[in-house]
Amino acid sequence: MANGATAAAVPQSVPKRMIAFIVRWTTATNHKDIGTLYLCTALLNLFLGGTLALCIRAELFIPGLQFVEPNFFNTLTTMHGLIMLFGFIMPVAVGFANWLIPMMIGAPDMALPRLNNMSFWLLPTATIMLVSTLFMDGGAPNFGWTMYAPLSTTYGPPSTDYMIFAVHMLGISSIMGSINIITTIATMRAPGMTWMKLPVFVWTWLVTAFLLIGIMPVLAGAVTMMLFDRNFGTAFFDAAGGGDPLLFQHIFWFFGHPEVYVLALPAFGIISQIIPTFSRKPLFGYRTMVMATILIGFLSYIVWAHHMFTSGMPYGAQLYFMLATMLIAVPTGMKVFNWITTMFRGSISFETPMLFAIAFVFMFTFAGCTGVMLAVAPADFQYHDSYFVVAHFHYVLVNGLTFAFLAGAYYWYPKFWGRMYNERLGKIHFWLSTISVNVLFFPQHFLGLAGMPRRIPDYALQFVDFNFISSIGAFVFGFSQLIFVYNMISSRHRGAPASDQVWEGAEGLEWTLSSPPPHHSFQTPPRVD
């Protein structure tokens, strides 16, 4: 309760207040404080990564080299990918987990609060190290976020070593965070909160945390081998010494594919909370939802090589990875079916979170369909490393998951801060974002099918029109997010006070607490029947 103490005794002078402020946030052990830190850091990184993306789209606005050198263009794509994945979309999910899981299961806090603080503060620490590579001699890493050897070993710039250490710290952060989340769910549930009563968001995070524990150490191992190859003369990824560059791709994608579901599952969880609320019906098929989550988690471990069809693989392996990948469409389809069936004959109202959630269902399903196209091994030889792939995974990550997290931000904002956001601005933000994001990414499918490769700063003339349209969409989408930031900041003091229930149809323990909730959510465990 030292947080409360520092807040209560307001020191007089400005420097003292600044010190008190810094001490309060750097030493925080409260799950809400840490959740807020995660969410704010994620937002900052979203704009950092977004700025890099706008540089990319500005360069691709018209053919020819306008603003950046080809090598710097490569560092832009690399840093954009790394910052968005590790700095934005993973932390935003962890931020929601920190805020919500203790409230949803009826606990006062996370099980290991000090570890929680360390998980968070490793994130800005690692981000600083990662971003500092931009200012080093030889430039930042320029081999894409996939860090393929030998681009990252033999040909990587000197700053690659610092990127490796940043990844190590991010890995420690994720593993500690996951340990904490699983432990919290396992040991801190309120009496009567049985496994099959857990909200779907908690279930998705439980599976996500196990995925993270199963993949982050593997990534740490991969970048460690990279470090050794770069500095100590080993031959892990060098065929001249008997190693194999494909080994890196296998290990990386063993991490990389479950990583996709690490990002997606919490988003599924958020959508599964929002749609029932605004449909005023309980979630359709709770059990199948839980089963589908576990199944997706399991399948995600055994499909990694579909990223490597063109790298060379026996036909039997290609066939296996193709079919296994397509199998993931089944549990994902179950989820989409359940969301739609929850809405079916519900008394739906279209507040901003519901709008984002419905847009998520549409656009994520579309992204899933292009995913099935990419899974077809013979066809993949045409799509591979083209803008079609870029369009596919941006539909997953931006049109899908980012929309889900925006939905979550609007949905729980009144609960977190006790004030309603501005509904009118929310709707403007929604429509601007939805239209512009499709203008941004939809044409990229055509570019890819027509043969435009990814990660190039210049392109042939037949690709001009679609790139032009895409860049316009990018700038509109990027700047519309400022409306969101303005809404979040201004409503903090000017918004109408929110009731405890907030949404008419909302169910779950978090809505029984006051808005904003008390510092330690549940001092005594509530009874769940």
Q: Give catalytic residues, as residue numbers.
A: 80, 109, 145, 173-174, 257, 259, 261, 272, 306-307, 332, 335, 454
Beta carbons of 115 and 179 less than 8 angstroms apart = yes
Site residues for other proteins, 354-393, by CB under 8 A, read none
Residue with smaller CB distance to other proteins, 14 or 240: 240
Residue with smaller CB distance to other proteins, 329 or 513: 513
By CB under 8 A, residue 254 contacts other proteins: yes
Instruction: Rule CB under 8 A: choose which of 244, 423, 500, 507 binds other proteins.
Output: 244
Stretch in the footprint of other proteins (CB under 8 A) among 109-117, 348-356, 395-403, 491-499 = 109-117
Site residues for other proteins, 481-520, by CB under 8 A, read 520
By CB under 8 A, residue 218 contacts other proteins: yes
By CB under 8 A, residue 333 contacts other proteins: no
By CB under 8 A, residue 233 contacts other proteins: yes
Stretch in the footprint of other proteins (CB under 8 A) among 154-162, 200-208, 336-344, 462-470 = 154-162
Site residues for other proteins, 111-140, by CB under 8 A, read 111-115, 117-118, 121-122, 125, 128-129
CB 116 to other proteins: min, Å: 8
Residue with smaller CB distance to other proteins, 235 or 428: 235
394: Cβ contacts below 8 Å, ≥ 6 apart: 440, 441, 444
Q: What gap in Å lies between CA 101 and CA 189, rounded to an integer?
A: 10
Q: What is the DSSP string of 169-211?
A: HHHHHHHHHHHHHHHHHHH-PPTT--GGGS-HHHHHHHHHHHH
Site residues for other proteins, 32-71, by CB under 8 A, read none
Stretch in the footprint of other proteins (CB under 8 A) among 88-96, 106-114, 386-394, 492-500 = 106-114
Strand, helix or coil for residue 456: coil
Instruction: Rule CB under 8 A: choose which of 220, 409, 474, 509 binds other proteins.
Output: 220
By CB under 8 A, residue 3 contacts other proteins: yes
Q: What gap in Å lies between CA 447 and CA 476, rounded to an integer?
A: 20
> If we measure between CA atoms, which residue out of 442, 441, 359 comes closest to residue 407?
359
Strand, helix or coil for residue 497: strand
Q: Report whether the peptide linkage leading into residue 266 is cis, meaning its omega lies within 30 degrees of zero.
A: no
CB 339 to other proteins: min, Å: 31
> If we measure between CA atoms, which residue out of 100, 98, 209 comes closest to residue 506?
100
Stretch in the footprint of other proteins (CB under 8 A) among 78-86, 162-170, 398-406, 426-434 = 162-170
169: Cβ contacts below 8 Å, ≥ 6 apart: 122, 125, 126, 129
- Residue 476 phi/psi, 5-degree rounding, is -65, -45
Q: What gap in Å lies between CA 364 and CA 264, rounded to an integer?
A: 10
Q: How many residues bind other proteins (CB under 8 A)?
A: 81
Beta carbons of 162 and 136 less than 8 angstroms apart = yes
Residue with smaller CB distance to other proteins, 248 or 477: 248
Binding mask 396-435 for other proteins (x = CB under 8 A): ----------------------------------------
> Is the torsion defined by CA of 448, 451, 457, 458 positive or negative?
negative
